[in-house]
Amino acid sequence: MNINELFNVEGKTAVVTGGSRGIGEMITAGLLANGVKVYITARKIGPLLAKAEELSNKYNGECIALGCDLSTLEGVTSFANQIKEKEEGIDFLINNAGAAWAEPFDTFSEAGWDKVMDLNTKSLFFLSQQMKPLLTKNASLEDPSRIINIGSIDGLNTPAFETFSYSTSKAAVHHLTRHLAHRLVRENILVNAIAPGPYPSNMLGAAVAHDYSEIAKRNPRKRVGTPEDIAGLVIFMCSRAGAYTVGETVTSDGGIVKTSSHNLS
Ligand SMILES: NC(=O)c1ccc[n+]([C@@H]2O[C@H](COP(=O)([O-])OP(=O)(O)OC[C@H]3O[C@@H](n4cnc5c(N)ncnc54)[C@H](OP(=O)(O)O)[C@@H]3O)[C@@H](O)[C@H]2O)c1
């Protein structure tokens, strides 16, 4: 029952897709700070390598950069093969890489639909499928492996922006999480999702010109998310403390989804 045992993740190996910045970087930092070896991926190899070096030095840990484009099945397979060459087993797969697209309903393009659905939903499924042998290798009844899918509150609430493929892709991620959890729990792989609210990043920053003050003001907690908020939840889910939590989508949004009220009068 000691907190150091309950939340211990030391000595584990994780893959965090899209770990070069934003929420993926926050999760990677939290895992590295607590003794996890972390593989991070992204398309832009320069910033990815620099981030891996920065985080390895900062947390005196092992952060390894593997460049890849996860938007196609070919890219997913090539990435999975790279990991298989380096590791016999992994403990945690954090499916975080994602993209957004906004376009008015009347002109919303096929490109904007396919790009988002391909990366956010399809690749997440096929990467989970291809990483399963590695997750299985380290999985046991006492110490299961974990998949954590990063969804979004936009897959739970109705978004204000015209981001039709994004909200659809994230709702799909939440449901796929339950379906995968059902299939994989018997093999001691626990699947859960996190639905983040506003976290500072390139993705959210692009929508608000990197000024989060209005978003913070409107948030029930009067702020945006921090690395501690998302890393703490991931560590809970990956540790002994989270080993009986299966198929959940947990919001990390300052209360946006669960404290919103409706006035019907
Ligand atoms: N920030 C928020 O407020 C928020 C809220 C709800 C949900 N989310 C979700 O959180 C996740 C992370 O988002 P973020 O806000 O941190 O976004 P971000 O700052 O844009 O980071 C996205 C990461 O994914 C990588 N990536 C993008 N396309 C990729 C591809 N085709 N193949 C491989 N890697 C790729 C990016 O690196 P490269 O560009 O170099 O490939 C980067 O490392 C996403 O799933 C997003 O939907 C974010």
Give domain status of residue 112, yes or no: yes
Q: Whose CA is closest to 180, among 89, 93, 238?
A: 93
Range of the domain at 18: 3-252
Whether 265 shows a pLDDT value over 70: the answer reads no
- Any atom of ligand 1 within 6 Å of the Cβ of 32: no
Select from 78, 79, 95, 96 the residue to mutate for testing ligand 1; criterion: most ligand atoms less than 8 Å from CB.
96
pLDDT of residue 198: 97
Token pair belonging to 56:
């390895």
Between 109 and 204, name the one with better pLDDT. 109
Compute the distance between CA of residue 163 and CA of residue 82 in angstroms, rounded to an integer.
33
Give domain status of residue 17, yes or no: yes
Ligand 1, atom 1, lies closest to the CA of 199
Ligand 1, atom 34, lies closest to the CA of 42
Buried b (16+ CB within 10 A) or exposed e, 30-40: bbbbbebbbbb
Q: In this predicted model, what pLDDT tens digit does every residue of 25-63 receive, in sequence order?
A: 999 999 999 999 999 999 999 999 999 999 999 999 999
* 50 and 30 Cβ atoms separated by less than 8 Å: no
Give domain status of residue 258, yes or no: no
Q: In this predicted model, what pLDDT tens digit does every residue of 229-245 receive, in sequence order?
A: 999 999 999 999 999 99
Q: Whose CA is closest to 20, among 192, 198, 203?
A: 203
Give domain status of residue 119, yes or no: yes
* 194 and 230 Cβ atoms separated by less than 8 Å: yes
Q: In this predicted model, what pLDDT tens digit does every residue of 69-79 receive, in sequence order?
A: 999 999 999 99
Q: In this predicted model, what pLDDT tens digit does every residue of 214-229 receive, in sequence order?
A: 999 999 999 999 999 9
pLDDT of residue 261: 86
Tell me the pTM.
Answer: 0.98
The pLDDT confidence band at residue 264, using thresholds 50, 70 and 90, is confident
Instruction: Give Cβ neighbours of residue 142 (< 8 Å, ≥ 6 apart).
Output: none
* 155 and 169 Cβ atoms separated by less than 8 Å: yes
Give alpha helix (H) positions in the chain.
3-6, 22-33, 45-59, 73-86, 110-117, 123-137, 164-184, 202-208, 213-218, 227-238
- Which phi and psi (to 5°) does residue 252 adopt? -135, 80
Give domain status of residue 82, yes or no: yes
Give domain status of residue 260, yes or no: no
Token pair belonging to 119:
């990366």
Token pair belonging to 260:
């919103």
Residue 150 CA, closest ligand 1 atom number: 45
Give domain status of residue 46, yes or no: yes
Give domain status of residue 261, yes or no: no
Beta-sheet pairing, 249-252 with 92-95:
unpaired
Q: In this predicted model, what pLDDT tens digit does every residue of 1-20 receive, in sequence order?
A: 999 999 999 999 999 999 99
- Any atom of ligand 1 within 6 Å of the Cβ of 203: yes
- How many distinct structural domains can be found in the chain? 1
Select from 15, 20, 21, 23 the residue to mutate for testing ligand 1; criterion: most ligand atoms less than 8 Å from CB.
23
Beta-sheet pairing, 37-42 with 145-150:
unpaired
Q: In this predicted model, what pLDDT tens digit does every residue of 129-151 receive, in sequence order?
A: 999 999 999 999 999 999 999 99
Provide the CATH number for the domain around residue 197: 3.40.50.720
- Which phi and psi (to 5°) does residue 189 adopt? -115, 120
Residue 196 CA, closest ligand 1 atom number: 6
- Which phi and psi (to 5°) does residue 13 adopt? -125, 130
Compute the distance between CA of residue 153 and CA of residue 142 in angstroms, rounded to an integer.
32
Residue 119 CA, closest ligand 1 atom number: 31
Average pLDDT over residues 68-93: 97
The pLDDT confidence band at residue 207, using thresholds 50, 70 and 90, is confident
39 is catalytic: no
